[in-house]
Structure 1
Amino acid sequence: MADIITKVNRALSDPTAVESWVATNRRKVKRWIRRGELGPLIGGLTGGAFDWNAYTSYLAWRADDGVVVRDINGSEMVLDPSMDGISQELLMYGGREELSASIFERELERLATRLDSTVTVLEIGANIGYYALLEARVLGDDGHVLAFEPDPRNIDLLTRSIERNGYGDRIDVERVAVGDSDGTVTFNVLPLSNKSHVDVDGFDRKHGIERQIDVAQKTTSTLLEEHDVAPDEINVVRMDVEGYEAQVFRGMPDVLASDQPLVLFFELHRPRIDDESFEWMLQMLEESGLELVAVTDLEGPMWYEVQLPWTSIDDLRKIGDDHSTHVILRRTP
């Protein structure tokens, strides 16, 4: 009840907030009706009114072995309805970051037609496998995904999805953080599974830390050596590491220096990157011979995601200090 009163008071004091709320939820409702999905519609209504999602709560109560399987992007994905974050988002909407994912999928298909050899992917911060499964499906038997994820909760769901789809020969999974050195790091486990991250001074911790665990960290160079993969065999790097981007890039100099075709897709968490590291990243991307394919704005719900009219790496300097975006680049020798 207190939450409802807060929402009403906010609406009365700021009418523009009502307009935004109506526009956002009109699109949600239309999508659920079009798909004939009554459950997510009810969940959306209860979530908006009470901050309690009746749909995902019901799924958690009825879940067999605590999980639910859904078709996501053409693969069966094992989801945990009790886990805040990406699992619940996929159960509600059937997808996420759809514009970014579609552009990335197009780049994967384009790359596969250009290469006669196996397309090798580095999937860094694989989480529960949204993108790893997409990569495995799109590339098929011609793809090899090396997936790295430090959160044990995510590893469990990812492994189960791989087994369910028969992708064991396409995706290798290792529980490890990827960074700029080999050793052990503190990992912050958050209720939102896709917000967990390596602990770094200055990180925004507004989501609250559930617990901290020690995890192994390795550089990309070390991991490739252990997997017997040459740096110039890497054709795709996809990562979401919650502000740890510069550290990951510093640990993969040979991949970035290669002259092979490369697709690079990462979430740029500008608020969590200091100015010096940010400038270093932009210079590194330019020196690696990469060209900008797309930058998508992550503001708002996933179907409001828009492609920004930026055409060069230099345009990334326009990103505000309080903003995060998806960046897709390619190198075409």
Structure 2
Amino acid sequence: MFNNSKALAVYGATGHTGTFVVAELQRRGLPVVAVGRDISSVPVGVPARTAAIDDAAALDRAFADCAVVINCAGPFLDTAAPIVEAALRAGSAYLDVTAEQASTLAIFERYDEQARAAKVAIVPAVGFYGGLADLLATALIGDRSVDEMTIAVALDHWWPTKGTRKTGERNRVPRVVIKNGSLVPMATPAMTTDWTFEPPHGMQAMEETPLSEIITISRHLHVRNLSSYLNVASLDELRNAATPVPAAIDAEGRSAQRFVMEVVARDGDRSTRAVARGQDIYAVTAPLVVEAAARMLQPTFNRSGALTLGEAFDAEDFLRSLKPEQMTFELNVT
């Protein structure tokens, strides 16, 4: 579909997640262009272009010769629409890493027809939240219908970035879940439960915290009831203004944070489970979104429209392409 010599643009390239994405593109030898309002801290040797989110002409210049645009700049309620529209004008595919339900849903509802007409793919929520759960759920159930699916995430710490805090302040849209096959507002106060993970996380108090995975899974999988939980300990850190930002502990710039995500599907007496484990939810987003971009560059990729990660690619093959040091996963765990 695309010329492999064309670059991949990263909007928000100097932010916390954008820095990981640029480094991963470089590691894989893919041509990258850093784009943003302030490009003063772009690594030496990386081509950079200045474009503010409200400057359509600058965005057009920045994306003019790019095969794929990767949006790493939140809040996506503010950035997704202008960047999607600029990507469409440029004939570029679009990826983002949003955890926001509202921005994900808006992309599916507003841009699917335009993307099909332009013969490009638009894939939102290609990150730890949204994309990873969508891949696990797709690999787990495929075309099978299930009565109930639960996503449970435990973080041993959540050191939020400035971008995460800014998004939380901006995103006050009521959250939704799937009940009886439809998207409905989440009941308040949020549901709580206990969940037993394997060590090191163990037993965790959990709070219902639906993010963009609800929108992506509802888009293409046959799930009658879907809920998503996050451990209370990490939410307490997120809600505490004194919690520090992530601190790098290795050469890749990752924090010490460890995560586990479980997806459990139940249909009658049958129960199946997928589990993913790894280090640093911000860092693991980079191999997810870069793998998606790299696959879009392949001549065999011919999908168009607004798609989820699990729709756009073979979910299990995609998961298996990730390196063990980035993330490990198991399917149909008993």
TM-score by length of 1: 0.34
Higher gyration radius (CA): 1
Structure number with greater CO (CA < 8 Å, separation at least 6) is 2
- Greater fraction helix: 1
* TM-score relative to the length of structure 2: 0.34
